[in-house]
Structure 1
């Protein structure tokens, strides 16, 4: 099934994100907040043998890189693809991989709405042959654990195998954010940003400011010199040769510029003569006018702030947490407010973590690791009186009695 009319929608979406510095920063921030303190397999209630097995699994699989990539896919596209690889006997899951969502495509669903395979390839370029596409069996999105058992003909949920009706040892699991519009590929919530006007407004402001800076001359002073001023210099210095007069004019102009520019000339005074015409008007020999350039490049300052705030609002990121609003006179939150904002941002990741835990609960159950459970501790920012920068906080879970005991203590 193509993703968009030309199958290039995820790459078009990434191009729009990468073209705006505020949007790219917000996406990075959301992924980092979803990552939290990192995915961990808690083994404190397990046996020594189980701990060794978990350690071996974690040494063979870079869980940090996997989980941060999954968080990126979740925040960009609304779904993520994990691949489980079993050993040859089909008794243990030995590898956990992430397949980049932008390179994944679904096969058409059957009459029951089930999608059987994931197609992984470099869809940025035309696919020349089927050998360029990796086909991966996709577990039922509504019941991946039962589907895995059925495909491997398992008789025990702890991994004891019977007859092997299938030689397939690689399976994909899709972690998907439920959306009101059920399609093959979810529509990210921030898609409203491109359907509205503020994304385009922010781009136009940047183009307009660049054009103004490129096409305008930054003139600092306007110097008016009367014709009689030069005549008085020639008469006072006795210069009659035409070439010498031109050279004297150039030297006088440079002298005026040297006087006006440079930090060492700050605070100096300039004397200029003038006379009054019969009608009472003053005629100055030299007039120096300073051009006010304080507004240069700041014509759309309030507009750019409004556009950035609208982007941050759509991305559900407070602008003070990413420092994206420009200007010196911006209101800034206190440290306590920022800590609360960061805590709220982390708390809102709970539903996404629950969706992502399904893959790891299957791994733990399939490998028979008793007393092990996945967790993502939150980073709790502290105050200075606690003499520490941050601490980890574990959230209570109805299915995890050990966490409840820790919280009570």
Structure 2
């Protein structure tokens, strides 16, 4: 049918207008990676009698979940994230003793019979699972949080639990001592002000072990010179490797694939190819519609029900299709309004229409897909040949090259493994 509107994409956010041959794609309004400015979320936690102010993570306080969703929506990004997380795990945890002899320091592996208490601790806390969870969070979100629980006497750590970074938030900096003092844990961040938030003291991220020793009375307090053991028995340790200019939440360097547009480009290619094969499309226009446009349209016309909004959206797309396809509209102007974002220094448009000069004939997207995958692999620090991202017989490598690339990757991942340990 020549007057059909075909939706495609993860949430049917994109569409193909068959009559005009136009492809309609969603355009982010502000960028989901934008930071909040002078905002806070005041929470009355379940386990505290005071109100604590937490800093949102992202403009809507749901950035971690959005990033995770985007990771799962792209084959290359998901595969690379999994690969990097496995590299963080390495050979796992071994119990060893450092031995010095013959002018060299070596490590001697210990057995369970030699140090049963250590092996019991590792087994009881399922350290292998904790290590894997921490590595996944470090790769995806740039930080990982671990809860340390002491016994009643506060003499030794008896429990270690990984706390999902996606459900973790940091309290506002204490202006007196300059420290971020609390960690808030809730599954409702980004949805509402949580009523299930668990607040736990956060160890000083600059010197967590030193801070812990002071809290547990092993070292004197810097201000008073006295040793005093706190009544707290649970603490949160942040494992994140800092990134420049980030005080509360880290921003991994590979997130540049989102701001640069390569992620969106990579995601659109398979949908384009699928739509082309299913509907025998010929693309003539690319129409980018700002995601805020629909909300403004629905508000202006008083359309509130989901089914009415879907119908209004379809009607608008058909009108747009008719405008682009109609021969009577040839040579006429399309008038649109835009505003200027002074902070970012960019123009913000509701609708952008671009003609596509070269029509698709069947194989053009292969090179585009390869280029997008290579850029994503480059940003995530994964050589394409280790993941098979480069198609074609002439682009394979031999076993020696693959082994050397893997060894290099292991060496580059050492800072993350040290942070986890």
Report if TM-score (shorter chain) is over 0.5: yes
For residue 317 of structure 1, the aligned residue among 382, 388, 393 is: 382
TM-score for the superposition, normalised by structure 1: 0.62
- The answer for the alignment partner of 2:131 in structure 1 is 67
Question: Which runs of 5 or more structure 2 residues have no equivalent in the other structure?
Answer: 1-54, 98-107, 221-225, 282-359
Is 1:298 the equivalent of 2:363? yes
Distance in structure 2 (CA, Å) of the matches to 1:48 and 1:330? 50
Change (3 A) 1:314 1:50: same
Distance in structure 1 (CA, Å) of the matches to 2:111 and 2:132? 29
- The answer for the alignment partner of 2:92 in structure 1 is 38
Q: How many residues align?
A: 273
Asked whether the equivalents of residues 144 and 173 of structure 1 are also in contact (C-alpha less than 8 Å), the reply is: yes
1:215-257 alpha-carbon deviations (Å, 9 max, x no partner)? 129xxxxxxxxxxxxxxxxxxxxxxxxxxxxxxxxxxxxxxxx
- The answer for the alignment partner of 1:4 in structure 2 is 58
Structure number with larger C-alpha Rg: 1
List aligned pairs for 1:89-238, cutoff 5 A: 89-111=153-175, 112-123=177-188, 126-127=191-192, 130=195, 132-154=196-218, 165-216=229-280
Change (3 A) 1:343 1:92: same
Is 1:18 the equivalent of 2:83? no
Question: Which runs of 5 or more structure 1 residues have no equivalent in the other structure?
Answer: 157-161, 218-294, 358-409
Asked whether the equivalents of residues 7 and 123 of structure 1 are also in contact (C-alpha less than 8 Å), the reply is: no
Return the offset for 1:17: 1.3
Return the offset for 1:356: 2.4
Secondary structure of 2:183's counterpart equals strand
Change (3 A) 1:2 1:128: closer
Distance in structure 2 (CA, Å) of the matches to 1:353 and 1:299? 41
1:185-218 alpha-carbon deviations (Å, 9 max, x no partner)? 011111111111322222232222111111129x
Return the offset for 1:331: 1.7
- The answer for the alignment partner of 1:28 in structure 2 is 82
Change (3 A) 1:46 1:299: closer
Choose 328-337 or 306-315, whichever is displaced more: 328-337
TM-score for the superposition, normalised by structure 2: 0.60
Is 1:349 the equivalent of 2:403? no
Change (3 A) 1:48 1:30: closer
Asked whether the equivalents of residues 136 and 172 of structure 1 are also in contact (C-alpha less than 8 Å), the reply is: yes
Root-mean-square deviation (Å): 2.5
Higher relative helix content = 1
Asked whether the equivalents of residues 62 and 189 of structure 2 are also in contact (C-alpha less than 8 Å), the reply is: yes
Distance in structure 2 (CA, Å) of the matches to 1:201 and 1:190? 16
Is 1:83 the equivalent of 2:152? no
Distance in structure 1 (CA, Å) of the matches to 2:65 and 2:181? 24
Asked whether the equivalents of residues 70 and 81 of structure 1 are also in contact (C-alpha less than 8 Å), the reply is: yes
Asked whether the equivalents of residues 169 and 183 of structure 2 are also in contact (C-alpha less than 8 Å), the reply is: yes
1:382-404 alpha-carbon deviations (Å, 9 max, x no partner)? xxxxxxxxxxxxxxxxxxxxxxx
